[in-house]
Amino acid sequence: MGEDEMREKQNKVKILIFICTMMLLLCGCNLFVTDKDKFYMDKNLDYSLSRIDIDKSGKDIVMPAKVGDITVREIYLADPYYSKIDSLDVSKAKELEALTIILFNPKNKSKLKELDFSKNNKLRHIEITQTKALKNIKFNSTCESIYLKEISIKKVELKKLKKLIRFTYREGSLEELDISNNQNLESIKIVDSNVKKLDVSHNPKLKYILIDEGTEIIGPTNAQIEYNKRTE
C-alpha cells in the first residue's frame, strides 16, 4: 500500500470517528452514564434516594436496586424531581422499605397515572400526595402503613394487605373502601372524601377512627371515633 493510500485510509478513519462522536453527542446518548450519575442518596435523609438527574435518566424512571454500593431502602421524591417524572418503576428495588412522593408547590402537577408495588415485598410504608393524575395503585401484600392525600382514585384495593396497621386517605375522590380482610388495622382516617359508609365489623384491633361527618359506621367497635367537618 502506497503512502498516499495509507494517508487516505487514515483520514477516512478519522472522519468516521468524528461522525460517530458527533452522533453520540447529538443523540444525547448516555452509554457511559451510571446510576450514581442519575440518582443521589441523601445521607441527611438516612441515605434515601431523593434526587434524580432527569437529563441523564429521562422522564420514565426505573429505580435501581443500588446506587453505587448503597442499597436503595428508602425513596423520598419531592419538588422539583417528582413533578417532572412521567412514569416510575420500582420493581428492581427489592430491598425498598419506605417510599414517599410529595409535591409542596400546588402549581406543580404530577403526571404519574399508575404505581405498582406488587414486587416490593419488603415495602412497609407508602406515602403519596398531590397526584391527581394517578388512577391506579397496586399495593404489596406486606405493607403496614399507607398515607394518601389529594389523589383521584375512587376505589383503593386493600384485601391482600393483611399486615396493614394504619391507613389514611385525605382530600380525594374515594367512594368506597373494603377493610374486611385487614384484621390487624389499628388506625383509619378518611377525611374529605366521598365515602358514605364504612364497615368496621371485621377489625377487632381497631383503636382509632377519623371519619367525615355523615359517614355511616357499620358494626360494633371499641375504637375511639372522631368526626371531621367536611371542607367545602
DSSP count for the chain of H helices, then E strands: 3, 20
Whether residues 2 and 58 fall in one domain: no
Q: pLDDT tens across 160-175, in order?
A: 999 999 999 999 999 9
Across the range 110-121, mean pLDDT stands at 92
Whether residues 28 and 45 fall in one domain: no
Task: Answer whether residue 182 is part of any domain.
Answer: no
Confidence at residue 46, expressed as pLDDT on a 0 to 100 scale:
84
| pLDDT at 108 > cutoff 70 | yes
| Number of domains, the chain | 2
Look at 73-77, 86-90, 107-111, 146-150 and tell me which has the smallest mean pLDDT: 107-111
Across the range 78-88, mean pLDDT stands at 82
Whether residues 44 and 23 fall in one domain: no
Whether residues 129 and 53 fall in one domain: yes
Which of 138, 153, 168 is the endpoint of a domain? 153
| pLDDT at 81 > cutoff 80 | no
Task: Answer whether residue 220 is part of any domain.
Answer: no
Confidence at residue 119, expressed as pLDDT on a 0 to 100 scale:
95
Alpha-carbon distance of 177 to 141, in angstroms, equals: 17
Whether residues 62 and 100 fall in one domain: yes
Whether residues 39 and 145 fall in one domain: yes
Q: What percent of the chain has pLDDT over 70?
A: 84
Look up the pTM and report it.
0.84
Residue whose C-alpha cell reads 431523593 in the numeric block: 50
Whether residues 53 and 88 fall in one domain: yes
Confidence at residue 14, expressed as pLDDT on a 0 to 100 scale:
66
Task: Answer whether residue 165 is part of any domain.
Answer: no
Whether residues 20 and 73 fall in one domain: no
Whether residues 25 and 74 fall in one domain: no
Q: 89 — phi, psi (to 5°)?
A: -115, 115
Task: Answer whether residue 4 is part of any domain.
Answer: yes
CA distances from 181 to 141, 184, 201, 204 (A): 12, 9, 11, 11
Q: What is the span of the domain harbouring residue 21?
A: 1-32
DSSP string, 91-143: TT-TT--EEEE--S-TT------EEE-TT-TT--EEEEEEETT--EEE--TT-
Confidence at residue 91, expressed as pLDDT on a 0 to 100 scale:
96
Whether residues 3 and 88 fall in one domain: no
Task: Answer whether residue 87 is part of any domain.
Answer: yes
Q: Average per-residue pLDDT in the chain? A: 88
Whether residues 24 and 98 fall in one domain: no
